[in-house]
Amino acid sequence: MRSTETRTGNTERLAEAVAKAAGVEALPLSSPIEEPVDILFLGNSYYAFSIDPEVRKFIRSLSKDKVGKIVNFGSAAMLNSTWKKVKAEADKVGIPMEQREFHCKGEFKGIHRGKPDSEDLKAAAEFTKAIIG
């Protein structure tokens, strides 16, 4: 389970909820994947109308021999899902993307104050449980 280097704390809060539901530790992008994983939950958000360059770099460092598929999750104040941007990067390294994702509003500069909230975190956990069965 990986989370982007969070700038607002929103992705970190979601990552903790996802990790707890999956029974794993939420790790930063700076932690390399050393053991194969069937499902990689990847948290991210929009920055300047694209995914964070660190997320792009992380995905490009992945190997299809170590990652079965990527599950996208995140939040954003104004824009919607980053799924297409993450998929474009995952396609370059041959790692499939789960079609389902979790996305919610996130607070940014006073917009959507308090988001993600406890209901969003609960929904992220339920989403995770649905993915892992």
Neighbour tally for 53: CB within 10 Å? 10
108 confidence band (pLDDT: 50, 70, 90):
low
Q: What is the per-residue pLDDT for 51?
A: 87
- Predicted pLDDT of residue 105: 76
The pLDDT of residue 115 is: 73
Choose which CATH entry (3.40.50.150, 3.40.50.360, 3.55.50.30, 2.40.110.10) describes domain 2-132: 3.40.50.360
Query: Hey, which of 2-6, 90-94, 114-118 has the most confident mean pLDDT?
Result: 90-94
Residue type, 44: N
pLDDT of residue 79: 66
Q: Is the pLDDT of residue 77 over 90?
A: no
